A and B are shown apart, each in its own frame.
Chain A
Amino acid sequence: MMLGHISSLSLAAMMPGIILVVSLAALLQFFISYCRSLIAASVKQALSADVRDVAGIARTASGEDFGRILQLLRLCPAHPHDRSEIRAIGTYFRLLGFLRVSAGKLMPSLMSWTETERGQCAYFAAVALERRIAFSRDMLAEQMHV
């Protein structure tokens, strides 16, 4: 009886700890998948030559381009629908950077995976830049008409 009481008390104390660990692991996986689904939507879109020139993307985007494209994005008027997704991808990019620095040296496959993902993040940002430039042009054209 006493033993049963003690074990149920320790179960009650252990449960939140187990739930916390499992939840954080699941959160990480869901967050990565969610960001990948955001990026997947932009992968099919081709970049115009103008945006490639402005963003400095010769053939494929690399992780090094992300910061520069983000600065260009800040110069454009914000598109109403893309603020939260850019913020989410920015967080994902920083997470990838952390993974690259912390565990990348020990696992070469992780290093190359994070680099590919960082490149996809940069491509996503370039697509957002293209959208914002088009949005600015439309706004300007509307003002000209008025």
Chain B
Amino acid sequence: MLGPAAYCIWILCTLLEAGVVVCALARGSFRRYFTLNLYMAASVAMSIARYFVLSRYGFNSDQYYYFYYYSDAILTICLYFALMGLYSIVFEELGATTQVRVFSMLLLGGTALFSYGVVHQAESRMVTRYVVEMSQNLYFVGLILTYVLWGAVLKLRETRARVVQFVLSLGVYFSLYAAIYALRNLYPNFASVLAYVSPFTGTLLPLAWNYAYLRFDEDARFAPARLAVIPR
């Protein structure tokens, strides 16, 4: 059963996600960061759908359990598209966007197959394990892709403040979720505790993207040397 605090975080997260889309529209950047805004709009739609499933079937029902994790996997795939959108923006001057997209799609398909393969060996509680295993692997691959993108940002001396903020917040988000799901896999007994951490973590990405839209103009720039952890 969800308590008042969990509902508050849920509502806050949904409002923040809607806020990102509103901010993008208000700042005239909706089309520029279309895939990012599409992900946020999809998150709002999923939140509403989850609420309907929850109110109809209850928190402890199988329907809610499956809907939650499968919608989470679908949202992670949407987030891959957002990430690809960021790749397109960073690599637009090099003209390597198509290659990057093909590679990302192959990686996405490979991750799903790998997760299936690993769980298939275990054979017990196949579907439930597959969902957690796939989420963990999707977040981890997302983390690797974001890390590669961050490397490209530093190498190409990308200075656009918004792009840098989007990439870094995405990196924090993917690494946090990959760690949470890995902990869930390692210590299944703590799943209920970690289930409370996940929604809180979910607020970080829309919060950071709202901040990036509100704080920085499209033309705002950083000095690249300020961004590398090890100064050049």
Taking beta carbons and an 8 Å cutoff, which residues of A are in contact with B? 5, 8-9, 11-12, 15-17, 19-20, 22-24, 26-27, 29-34, 36-37, 39-41, 43, 81, 84-85, 113
Q: A20 and B175 in contact (CB under 8 A), knowing A30-B150, A32-B229?
A: no
Task: Report the contact-size class of chain B (Cβ under 8 Å from the partner).
Answer: 35 or more
| Contacts between the two chains (Cβ within 8 Å), count | 106
B225 and chain A: residue at smallest CB distance: A40
A12 touches B121 (CB 8 A): yes
Q: Could you say which residues of chain B place their CB within 8 Å of the CB of A24? A: 175, 179
Given contacts A33-B168, A85-B211, contact A8 B229 (CB under 8 A): no
Closest Cβ neighbor of B187 among chain A residues: A16
B125 at the interface (CB under 8 A from A): no
Q: CB-CB < 8 A to B122: which residues of A? A: 9, 12
**A contact residues around B26 at 8 Å (CB):** none
Inside 8 A of B215's CB, which chain A residues have their CB?
Answer: 41, 81, 85
User: Any chain A CB within 8 A of the CB of B172?
Assistant: yes
Interfacial chain B residues near A11, Cβ < 8 Å:
118
Chain A residues in 8 Å Cβ range of B231: 113
Interface: B104 (CB within 8 A) = no
The answer, among A15, A19, A37, A113, for a CB contact under 8 Å with B227, is A37
- Is the pair A27, B172 in contact by a Cβ cutoff of 8 Å? yes
Q: Which residues of A contact B172 (CB under 8 A)?
A: 27, 30-31, 34
Q: Is there a chain A Cβ closer than 8 Å to B147's Cβ?
A: yes
How far apart are the CA atoms of A20 and B175 in the complex, in Å?
9
Query: Is B118 a contact partner of A33 (Cβ separation < 8 A)?
Result: no
Most-contacted residue by chain A among B119, B121, B150 (CB, 10 A): B121
Residues of B within 8 Å of A12, CB to CB, are: 118-119, 121-122
- When distances are taken between beta carbons in the complex, the residues of chain B under 8 Å from A32 are 229
A27 cross-chain contacts in B, Cβ below 8 A: 172, 175-176, 179
Q: Are B226 and A19 in contact (CB under 8 A)?
A: no
A8-B118, A12-B121, A84-B207 are contacts. A37–B182 as well, Cβ < 8 Å? Answer: no
Please tell me if the beta carbons of B226 and A23 are within 8 angstroms of each other in the complex: no
A8 and B121 contact, CB distance less than 8 A: yes
Chain A, residue nearest B169 (CB): A34
User: Does B127 interact with chain A (Cβ within 8 Å)?
Assistant: no
B136 touches A16 (CB 8 A): yes
CA–CA, A84 and B207, complex, Å = 8
